[in-house]
Amino acid sequence: MPIPISTLFGDHEDSDIHSLPRPEDVKDMATGWSRVPLSLRDIPDLDYPEAQSSEGLNDIDLVKKYFFKRVNSENFLKISDEKPFELIKKYCNDNNLKYNLDDLDDLNDHFSRLVLTLKFKYNRPRPKKFMEHHCDEFPHDRITKNNTPSYPSGHAAHAYFNCCILADAFPDHAIKLFSLADRVAQSRIDLGKHYPSDISFGRFIGELAASACMKGHRRIELIKEHKDITREERRMARGRMRAAAKRHDDSKLGTGYIDELCEFLIRSNALERYKVDIDDAYQASKSFLRGLPVKYCSDSEYIKSHLSALEIGSILGDIDNPTKVISIHKALGNEVMERGEAGVIRPFEHYAGSGYEFSKPNNILTHMQSWCKNNLDPFERHVVYECIHPFSDGNGRSGRIILACDLNFDLAALNDMIGSDYITKIVEYQNRK
């Protein structure tokens, strides 16, 4: 939610907006964040829940709950509020983890300017300000004031940013580092300074920025456009599928790997009521596996969409964080979206035809983060993804691409899973919930 133009004139107070940025904030934001290879366009536009919506009211209720029943100790809350990085530094020192403190400090300075820019882009008022105007019974005077807007949480963003980078360097400590980040994030709710949705978005931004800054960030940056894929990257992507083709037993299965890819293109599109020509799908499959760029494989946007997403998925490897999910969805392209944009998280409540309620917008990132860590078998993992339904459109298609990745591109097994009883299995799972 950008700063309304009306607030530039006069000095009135409005409980639905935060204050204007101070001169030092403007200077910081103008400096930029050159060491964090992300632009604002790389970050999904996910607005915070309106105060009177069901998600917004739940946000407020949870702030009230944890303010009176805090998860963290008072000593931890004091340190995490005033010097959160000291907690991470202490963990590293206690465990003899050697890292370049000056370099990490400089990286955090750059990242803080990105977070500050996002804060003033959305300009959400802090819980303290909301309580002052709407909750007379709440002791809002006990919440200390902050000078920046609420969404996303900077403490949460920095906690996950640093822990992601350190966990990549010291994988044996990943679980404890992320547990520390979780505690820092929860401390913001305990203190009444942030809503849970601020924390979720902060975590997402922290993990996204960390991925971009780490050595493997080139793979993440491929979310932009499939035309940016180099010949070497295309060779690597098709190589994974050609390796799957070699494992494919034609005599046992009665079909060739090209036939299975063709069947997948037809079946996955048919599930969305999009009809593609069989001969076109077959020739596109053959051209794709031979290494031809996607744009030359077919004239059908629906065929090219699937092939582009398969290509990105095969480059990304394990689909183990929300950024990679967004990468695959973005690769589908806007041309085949009937609602919303490719790569943009769903901003509205949504229900299945069976009446099942998908994840609320405020919970999508949190649910996706949990989904990425689960150890379910590929099909159940796919069904859970469909129950989250993170995008406005293209959830089934992106989900089936992810299922292909999880199956290491065993397309015969994939086609069996998305057969005539595919929808029935998903509905049965939803009905159990």
Q: Where do the domains of the chain lie?
A: 12-215, 223-432
Domain 223-432: assigned CATH number: 1.10.3290.10
Domain 12-215 shares a fold with domain 223-432: no
Torsion 359-362-366-369 (CA) sign: positive
d(CA 145, CA 42): 31
Tokens 């229900």 sit on residue: 351
Helix (H, G, I), strand (E, B) or coil at 295: helix
Q: pTM of the prediction?
A: 0.65
Backbone angles phi, psi at 420, to 5 degrees: -65, -25
pLDDT of residue 228: 53
pLDDT of residue 16: 66
CA 416-417-423 angle, to 5 degrees, is: 125
pLDDT < 50 stretches in the chain: 1-13, 216-227
- For the chain, the straight-line distance linking the first and the last C-alpha, in angstroms and rounded, comes to 34
Who contacts 89 (Cβ-Cβ below 8 Å, separation ≥6)?
101
Quote the tokens at residue 216.
Answer: 């493997």
Domain 12-215: assigned CATH number: 1.10.606.20
pLDDT of residue 221: 37
pLDDT of residue 280: 97
Percent of the chain with pLDDT over 70: 91
**Of the candidates 264, 355, 350, the residue with the CA atom closest to the CA atom of residue 306:** 264
